[in-house]
Structure 1
Amino acid sequence: MSPDIWNPTWEDPFVPTVDADDEYAELIEAMRAAQEAVTRSKPTPRAAAAAAARLREIATAIAEFEVDEDDQIAGKRWDSAGHGQALIPPIHLDRMTDTTAIGRVTIGRFHSGRYAMNGGVAPLIFDEILARLANHHRPWARTARLEVVFRAPAPLHTELTVTARLVEQQGRKRFLHGTLHHGDVLLVEAEGLWIELKHEQTHNISRVLKEVAG
């Protein structure tokens, strides 16, 4: 587990994930549960309005603790599957080297695209695991291209295997390949390109990005 979960950093150790049971992990798990429950439900108007009011109360209470992006916890809980965010299905990382990674992911109804994984979820999964491998023990690089090819529908509520492999590096370019399998069945594969940032691009990157965003 992270040495200090309340003061995480953007430095990704890229190690196997563990089960986290601290307060912040519980918060994220509750968010995922709410997303799944809303997706699965057909509430009455009264129930929907009541739930919306309670969610707004929670949002208001948490907003009191808003911080700068560099100080937030979300996205930096590298020890836990999903590293502290509820956007994509949490990937459980099992084995990693400098050039490969293998993990597991299960797709729920929140990420469904009519009885199977929504096609737009696959790029999120691959951008997650390929980018982490691309940056493992290497200078920071950003996604330049990600191409996804669908081979078969990805089933819901079933543990799937996701892999990543660093194919080659040419100067600042890093080429990666990924797959998503259900047993021996290839569901999705991806090819990606990551470009290593120049020194001037990484220097005080937070300030530069804020200026670009206006």
Structure 2
Amino acid sequence: MNSDIWNPGWDDPFGPTAESDDEYAELIEALRAVQEAVTRSRPTPRAAAATAAVLREIGSAMAEFEVGEDEQIAGKRWDLPGHGQALAPPVHLDEITETAAVGRVTVNRFHSGRYAMNGGVAPLIFDEILARLANHDRPWARTARLAVDFRAPAPLYTELTVTARLVRQQGRKRFLYGALHHHDLLLAEAEGLWIELKPEQTQDISRELKEVGG
């Protein structure tokens, strides 16, 4: 068993992604499949209630394994498309350099906004690839600004190309640009700013807030 799979850290190697059939990868794929199936369905009240009961059972079963954010696996499986989370469409990374990245993403009905990709999904996709490029072999930075311009509806069930480019770095500020294409058609583009954190800003903010609030 590869211990890195079950004990991932926050350090993102930011390399090309690979498909995997290990148990955790299967869990996330199953979760995505449920999200898609529920979105596509029109269940009867009885079926909806029965399915809700099953999902609550699954939630209770997973609650037995709850850990702190530093110990969780979700969002830190850097080798997988989507790095082990089911919120945003999984981005497959193909080409990585110090200043650029190229990936692929397919949007299904769970992320639809009436026959095309929901407008709120594009920022998720851009933040995924731009933030990871911003932090590639650099001290940790957080998203300070992300502006998205929509140029054309993004089709569903179709592989789209997403690109990222580090435009410049100015002190602790990192400026990036991203684009989403369907072949030669520009669907959306983004400009973002990431701010390199000071050492004292890299700790668990939620824990601090709980301590202040008592």
Q: How many residues align?
A: 211
Letter in 2 for 1:144: A
Letter in 2 for 1:108: N
1:54 and 2:54 aligned: yes
| 1:31 shift after superposition | 0.3
Tell me, what secondary structure is at the counterpart of 1:188? strand
- The aligned counterpart of 2:21 is 21
- The aligned counterpart of 2:209 is 212
Letter in 1 for 2:38: V
Q: TM-score normalized by structure 1?
A: 0.96
How many angstroms apart in 2 are the aligned matches of 1:32 and 1:47? Answer: 20
- The aligned counterpart of 1:145 is 145
**How do 1:35-184 residues align onto structure 2 when only pairs under 5 Å count?**
35-184=35-184
Letter in 2 for 1:211: E
| 1:158 shift after superposition | 0.1
| 1:210 shift after superposition | 1.4
Identity %: 78
How many angstroms apart in 1 are the aligned matches of 2:3 and 2:167? Answer: 33
| 1:201 shift after superposition | 1.9
How many angstroms apart in 1 are the aligned matches of 2:88 and 2:200? Answer: 31
RMSD over equivalenced CA pairs, Å: 1.3
How many angstroms apart in 2 are the aligned matches of 1:47 and 1:168? Answer: 53
Tell me, what secondary structure is at the counterpart of 1:70? coil
- Which aligned segments of 4 or more residues in structure 1 are displaced greater than 4 angstroms? none
| 1:9 shift after superposition | 0.3
| 1:3 shift after superposition | 5.4
Letter in 2 for 1:120: G
How many angstroms apart in 1 are the aligned matches of 2:147 and 2:92? Answer: 23
Tell me, what secondary structure is at the counterpart of 2:6? coil
Tell me, what secondary structure is at the counterpart of 1:37? helix
Letter in 1 for 2:128: E
Tell me, what secondary structure is at the counterpart of 2:118? coil
How many angstroms apart in 2 are the aligned matches of 1:4 and 1:173? Answer: 32
| 1:200 shift after superposition | 2.4
How many angstroms apart in 1 are the aligned matches of 2:90 and 2:201? Answer: 30
Alpha-carbon spacing, 1:45–1:111, altered in 2? closer, same or farther (3 Å) = same
Q: TM-score normalized by structure 2?
A: 0.96
| 1:81 shift after superposition | 0.2
Tell me, what secondary structure is at the counterpart of 1:71? coil
| 1:212 shift after superposition | 2.5
